Chains A and B, each alone.
Chain A
């Protein structure tokens, strides 16, 4: 029998893997991919709560759709910024991009 705990544990595991990616990647595109993993972990949480806590209202599923939309906007802007950084630096390693630090 699957319980809420199963889904929340899966989401916690996915979230931790995503955090690990954000902490250790040097490539900015790799960091963006890890952030998408984090979004997915949060979405699993919302849908699981919608299924187990409040199945009549479906608030969690509606919220998930909003999160997916905002994630799409975030990916578009982030990748545009990365392409701009690539044009200026000929590379997207985040530890080399320090022009705002002095």
Chain B
């Protein structure tokens, strides 16, 4: 289902969400207090969910809020709490590679953007028909049923493994 918004409104929403994503992501990688980083990560995940809705992928947006905002950040905050003294501001949080890292990342960004600018994509003129949730549900249980089952096995193996690793002897 396509969003029934005018082009100008969509563009404005896109730039607001992009500003939120980039700003909060920068806070995540640069703040000294790791707990505040985790909170900014929540803001970043929410804005990415907004981008998915803008791309008319409402099911992926719901999954993003449920799994990333609901589960992964809670896990991260748990781990930060369990490793208690780490979020004191006195501990240095970044290593001595900040300047080389900035140079490498800037070069990567320039190369990527110029490649993206030069590539001519085969843009489809059609929009997404109907509700994407319905078609995703159908294809998960027909075309992609084998990866679907395999990924559930992977998930349960990983979670049992996590419990066994973190268990006290």
Contacts and interface: CB of A to CB of B under 8 A. Distances in A.
Interface residues of B, number: 84
A16 to B, nearest CB: 4
A65 to B, nearest CB: 6
> Mostly helix, strand, loop or mixed at chain A's interface?
helix
A79 B22 contact: no
Query: What's the interface size class on A, roughly?
Result: 35 or more
A4 B136 CA distance: 22
Contacts, number: 229
Interface of B: 7, 10-11, 14, 18, 21-22, 25-26, 28-29, 34, 37-38, 41, 44-45, 48, 51-52, 54-57, 59-60, 63-64, 67-68, 71-72, 75-76, 78-80, 82-83, 86, 91-95, 97-98, 100-102, 104-106, 108-109, 112-113, 116-117, 121-124, 126-129, 132, 135-136, 139-140, 144, 147, 151, 154-155, 158-159, 161-163, 165-166
